[in-house]
Chain A
Amino acid sequence: MSTIIILTVVSLSVLGVILAVILYFVAQKFKVVEDPRIDQVEACLPGANCGGCGYAGCRAFAESCVKASNLDNNYCPVGGNAVMKNIAAKLGMEVSEKLPMTAVVRCSGACGKRTAVVEYDGTASCMAKSALYTDSSSCQYGCLGEGDCARACKFGAIRMNAETGLPEVDEDKCTACGACVKACPQNIIELRNKGPKSRRVFVSCVNKDKGAVARKACSVACIGCRKCEKACPFGAITVEDNVAYIDFNKCRLCRKCVAECPTGAIHAVNFPQETNKQIKNDE
């Protein structure tokens, strides 16, 4: 009886040792050498796998950071500067600070402001709508209002305002990953500098039609009149294809353009209320 037990234990132990030795050599032979820094960098990242950096996920981004000679082309928009600093410290590299960005919706053609011309009863998707025709309103450039951007946002930062029919971005939640920019078939959403104290000035229209056509289509359209271009003391505004664009790197937030715009297409956000009034009183 005891011999059976001893034999079993011995044979199994011997078998175990032999297999262990084989496994050891196999493991040595097929060893994948991976830079341990990749794991370290990945640990710093938010782990949302949103793709905002341009890579398939956080691990792919970490790999590219480790391989790169500098971090100029790599930026995690979700983690922002704090995370990039951490990564730089782990890799012993330098990183220049980037200004925080946020998604900006460049259309204010709410339901009452654009004339509706047709009725849409198709599937609720901006992509489907834009594949069929330009829009149910008279403006062929404006927001289609089916919420592809809101669905694309992995951080719950965009919601469709039922009253205006336009998307609204929650700046605190927006990580500037750019998913909504890609999702919008009309190219309305842009990533812009968040600005000091989140104060920003931007043109909230992308209508490329000539002034009269644009104005007829929507009461808050940019009509390309160039008043803002002339008013800007910093040369930040350019008018191309009948629509003004404010370069956020040059804009100093003086808001002279806001006061000039005849249609109210230029928006200034997060400025204190009083100063807004002051500007109007100065007029």
Chain B
Amino acid sequence: MMSKTFPMGGVHPDDSKISANAAIEDFPLPAVAYVSMSQHLGAPAEPVVEAGQEVKAGQLIGKPSGFISAPVHSPYSGVVKNVDYVADLSGNKAKTVVIEVSGDQWDDGIDRSGEIKRDIVLSGPEIIAKIAEKGIVGLGGATFPTSVKLSVPKGKKAEYLIVNGAECEPFITSDYRQMIEQPEQLLIGTRIMMKALSLDRAYIGIEENKPEAIEKLRGYSKEYGDIEIVKLRKKYPQGGEKQLIKAVTGRNVPSMGLPIDVGAVVQNVSTAIAVYNAVQHNMPLVEKVVTVTGNCLPVQKNFRVRLGVKLSELIGHAGGVPEDCVKIISGGPMMGKAVYNIDAPVVKGTSSLLFLTRKETARRPESNCIRCASCVSACPMGLEPYLLGKLARLSKMEELEKNRVYDCIECGCCSYTCPAGIPLLDNIRLAKASVLKIMRSRPKK
């Protein structure tokens, strides 16, 4: 069968999945953990514990504040040292509960047996409530509260549930390892979300460079015939929400629109597994699979880490920062963010730590645009990055809006492909933020 893909743009970076064969290891518990209250998109959670209070693993320590927000649970048992402002990986300070870890006592009602529970007892609305209560957020990186995404607004109808296993970013293998090691949990998690959306079909999209994952999941087709495994062509950004919807359903998400406008709901594979754990085992989102990788590292690792472990401890367990490494990136090389503060804690959105050498990170010297239109062919959203980049430098906000700068998904294909080494995305991203600010400040009709 032909692999499916999106028709417009895209690039083919070397996938460098060098950590693909490293089985997931449980990361040891730290002595002190830093559990941030802003691990999700939206309003930060409000701490409900005080200094000196004893907590159990799985206990609620931060309650959501606002509609788009999520609760935070303690990943450890121990004593709350204090509630302080701790710098995140960009150096911005966020309210954080500091826990002195002792033992591994779990809160009552949490099933840690690991046995696979196939029967879905809860009803649709109960499932959504459970997902909200257990603090599940989109683990693909955007950390948007999953319960909000599963609550279809009035007048809209969900027709497609697509589980995103594309993992198109080079290097990252955390989703891949989970698909290989927890296939049934993933399929049950998908079924749970199908029930919440009252759908009888779902799709799991996987890029063709992960044949083992495709094989493994297709092996369950007898029991889970209602979940179709879709083979996707290896092309970046195949895992972009809009690109994935186009590849699987053939539908175009309208400009400034949401996937639900075309009846699609997209969830990441690790989110599906977290949903399974929450609904079937009453398990809040307190751990995360994080890939620690890089060509300069002696060992490649996939760790199952409890939230709140310092990044520097992860780095220490992977053998420390290699001498020739000059940049550590949280996330993938295409869309990830450079780590400013290695003492920042692991949060729900952390998926990978990537170590790069000076040679790998060197920027090409910038020269003039030669109008080769490589960026235009590479843009998966059909924009003209050379033009947007130029307008952005000149701060022409009206022109930028006319040229749909707000449709940019910040995938970085334009900068990647530019033979003149122009930092197109850097400029476009700034302009996009300003244009969106202007658009939002306008009175609504």
List the interface of chain A (C-beta within 8 A of B). Answer: 118-119, 121-123, 125, 127-128, 131-135, 140
Contact = CB atoms under 8 A, between A and B. Distances in A.
Interface stretch (B214-222, B269-277, B427-435): B427-435
Given A132-B338, A133-B338, A134-B340, A123 B91 contact: no
B427 A132 contact: no
Contact of A132 (B326, B337, B363, B433): B337
Interface string B335-371: 0011011000000000000000000010100000000
Contacts of A125: 426, 430
Contacts of B326: 119
A123 B338 CA distance: 14
B32 to A, nearest CB: 19
A123 B427 contact: yes
B424 to A, nearest CB: 10
B429 A118 contact: no
B329 to A, nearest CB: 12
Contacts of B363: 121
A128 B430 CA distance: 6
Dominant secondary structure at the B interface:
mixed
B13 interface: no
Interface residues of B, number: 17
Contacts of B361: 121
Contact of A140 (B91, B427, B429, B430): B91
B90 interface: yes
B423 interface: yes
B91 A134 contact: yes
Contact of B429 (A119, A131, A133): A131
A131 B433 contact: yes
A127 B392 CA distance: 12
Contacts of A128: 426-427, 429-430
Given A131-B433, A132-B338, A133-B338, A122 B91 contact: no
B430 A133 contact: no
B340 A123 contact: no
A133 B423 contact: no
Nearest to A123: B426
B65 interface: no
B3 interface: no
B92 interface: yes
A118 B423 contact: no
Interface in B300-348: 326, 337-338, 340-341
B430 A131 contact: yes
A277 B156 CA distance: 75
Nearest to A151: B395
Interface in B86-111: 87, 90-92
Nearest to A125: B430
Contacts of A135: 91
A131 B431 CA distance: 12
B99 to A, nearest CB: 22
Interface in B359-416: 361, 363
A133 B90 contact: yes
B430 A134 contact: no
Given A118-B340, A121-B363, A133 B91 contact: yes
Interface centre among B90, B340, B423, B427 (most CB of A within 10 A): B340
A78 B122 CA distance: 68
Contacts of B429: 128, 131
Contacts of A131: 429-430, 433
Contacts of B90: 132-134
Contacts of B341: 133
Given A125-B430, A132-B337, 12 more contacts: A119-B326, A122-B423, A123-B426, A125-B426, A127-B430, A128-B427, A133-B90, A133-B91, A134-B90, A134-B91, A135-B91, A140-B87
